[in-house]
């Protein structure tokens, strides 16, 4: 195997290791419809005892909860099923059902961050209502809210379940079997129902995908500007400015691994040429994205630090890399974050032969530090 292929496949393996944990299998507990009806009722009834408990990040009760902590504890203590601890992991654990099939004991998921990732979960209790732990607003903590409220309706993503369907009239409206418990909870959250925008799990207003699952409403656009750098050349070890790049990118937030397409325009000062990578990407969560694709070259590149040693880009395989971003902050309808990526671009000798390992690695491996601006498309539709 040539040196350039060895470097490329080594880097690809590293990215594969990052992706594999995201591809966990969905799970569903096996039981009869009758058993499911009883189990779901236990789950719903047990959850209501925590109404009024305060919100605490990382809390799993019994005195305080965050949203996933409430679901985690209620499931474990009421029916003996231990779910994953985080909202995203719970989402991956469950299987999706349509809104028409939704019944009490299912889980409702919401997207409330700029990443378009699943960020909030509640337990559906019937009649379009769900119990959850809210972190912001005048009615924080464990409350009952309605899927018909404007805020939750616009941020709703899907319903999932880990318990089989009950096919039972008992759970069409679980409120009828425990009206007194719910009424006491409803009183504590009545102002949340009338002011839904103040009851949510994030500390700022969000603009991400809502209840409509249309393609356009699930698109998220972003653009970045970065300074490129490296620490080595084929001949010496020191900080090197490798130029700058700008990128435009679109991704579809309707999947666990969010697929996307992007295009860069990059000036590589080390090789003194312009590159146009066209990449396919997978955004795994709010902070990690991997990408790969062909590279179009403009100009005649040379080995960094040696203008007499001409080289050329490989069109394909062209580039492979990973981008890591910070939590974002909101500016108007956009979300701004800082981004750090590491990418490897394949270069060859002018005759197409592979360069030596050291030359290939030090020429192709570049880091980029910059800023990313994200715009959920449904915020302007």
Question: What is the mean pLDDT of the segment spanning 313-324?
Answer: 92
Rounded to 5 degrees, what angle do the CA atoms 362, 17, 27 make?
Answer: 165
Q: Is residue 261 part of a domain?
A: yes
Whether 249 is a known active-site residue: answer no
Which residue among the candidates 67, 155, 249, 302 is catalytic per the annotation?
67
Q: Which of the residues 94, 132, 155, 249 is marked catalytic?
A: 132
Q: Is 120 a catalytic residue?
A: yes
Task: State pLDDT tens for residues 352-376.
Answer: 888 899 899 999 999 999 999 998 7
Q: pLDDT tens digits, residue range 188-203?
A: 333 333 333 333 333 2
Are 360 and 317 members of one domain? Answer: yes
E-assigned strands of the chain?
A: 95-97, 107-110, 120-126, 129-134, 141-146, 156-161, 219-232, 237-252, 258-268, 273-285, 288-293, 295-298, 302-303, 306-313, 319-325, 329-331, 334-345, 347-349, 365-376
Sequence-distant (≥ 6) Cβ neighbours of residue 138 within 8 angstroms: 191, 192, 195, 198, 199
Q: Please write the tens of the pLDDT for every residue from 76-122.
A: 999 988 888 889 889 988 988 999 999 999 999 999 887 778 899 99
Preceding peptide of 347 cis, ω within 30°: no
Is 67 among the catalytic positions?
yes
Q: Residue 185's pLDDT band (boundaries 50, 70, 90)?
A: very low
Q: Are residues 79 and 150 in the same domain?
A: yes
**Residues 156, 242: one domain?**
no
Give me the pLDDT at residue 13, please.
61
CB 139 within 8 A of CB 199: yes
What is the rounded CA–CA span in Å between residue 127 and residue 146? 8
Asked if 120 and 60 count as a contact pair (C-beta separation under 8 A), the reply is no
Indicate the average pLDDT of the chain.
Answer: 81
Residue 141, domain extent: 31-198
Would you say how long the chain is, in residues? 381
pTM: 0.53
- Among the listed residues 94, 120, 155, 343, the single catalytic one is 120
Say which residue, 168 or 190, is predicted with more confidence.
168
Structural domain includes residue 161? yes
Work out the pLDDT band at 157, boundaries 50, 70, 90: very high
267 lies in the same domain as 317: yes
Check whether residue 12 and residue 45 sit in a common domain.
no
Question: How many distinct structural domains can be found in the chain?
Answer: 2
Side-chain-side CA neighbours of 23 within 13 Å: the count stands at 6
Say what the pLDDT of residue 196 is. 35
Rounding to the nearest 10 degrees, give the CA dihedral for residues 224, 220, 122, 30.
-110
- Does 279 share its domain with 345? yes
| The domain boundary residue, chosen from 157, 173, 198 | 198
**374 and 226 co-located in one domain:** yes
Residue 62, preceding bond cis, omega within 30 degrees? Answer: yes
Is residue 91 within 8 A of residue 160, CB to CB? The reply is: yes
CB 92 within 8 A of CB 83: no
pLDDT recorded at residue 332: 79
């Amino acid at each position: 195997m040539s040196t350039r292929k060895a470097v490329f496949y080594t880097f690809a393996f590293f990215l594969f290791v990052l992706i594999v944990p995201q591809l966990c299998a969905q799970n569903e507990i096996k039981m009869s419809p009758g058993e499911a009806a009883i189990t779901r009722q236990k789950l719903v009834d047990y959850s209501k005892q925590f109404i009024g408990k305060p919100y605490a990040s990382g809390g799993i009760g019994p005195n305080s909860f965050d949203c996933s902590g409430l679901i985690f504890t209620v499931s474990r203590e009421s029916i003996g099923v231990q779910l994953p601890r985080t909202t995203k992991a719970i989402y991956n654990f469950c299987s999706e059902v349509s809104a028409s099939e939704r019944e009490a004991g299912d889980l409702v998921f919401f997207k409330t961050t700029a990443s378009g990732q699943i960020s909030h979960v509640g337990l559906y209790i019937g009649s379009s209502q769900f119990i959850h732990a809210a972190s912001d607003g005048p009615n924080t903590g464990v409350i009952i809210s309605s899927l018909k409220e404007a805020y939750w309706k616009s941020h709703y993503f899907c319903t999932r379940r880990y318990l089989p369907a009950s096919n039972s009239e008992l759970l069409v409206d679980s409120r009828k079997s425990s009206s007194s418990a719910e009424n006491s909870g409803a009183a504590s959250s009545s102002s949340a129902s009338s002011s839904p925008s103040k009851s949510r799990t994030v500390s700022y207003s969000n603009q991400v995908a809502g209840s409509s699952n249309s393609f356009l409403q699930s698109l998220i656009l972003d653009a970045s500007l970065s300074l490129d750098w490296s620490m080595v050349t084929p001949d010496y070890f020191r900080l090197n400015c490798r130029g700058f790049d700008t990128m435009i990118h679109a991704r579809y937030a309707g999947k666990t691994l969010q697929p996307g397409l992007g295009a860069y325009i990059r000036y590589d000062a080390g090789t003194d040429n312009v590159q146009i990578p066209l990449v396919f990407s997978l955004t795994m969560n709010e902070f990690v994205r991997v990408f790969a694709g062909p590279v179009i070259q403009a100009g005649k590149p040379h080995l960094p630090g040696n203008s007499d040693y001409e080289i050329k880009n490989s069109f394909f395989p062209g580039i492979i890399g990973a981008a890591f971003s910070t939590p974002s902050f909101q500016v108007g309808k956009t979300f701004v974050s800082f981004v750090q990526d590491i990418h490897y671009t394949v270069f060859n000798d002018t005759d197409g032969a592979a360069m030596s390992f050291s030359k290939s690695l030090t020429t192709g491996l570049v880091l980029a530090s910059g800023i990313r601006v994200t715009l959920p498309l449904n915020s302007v539709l």
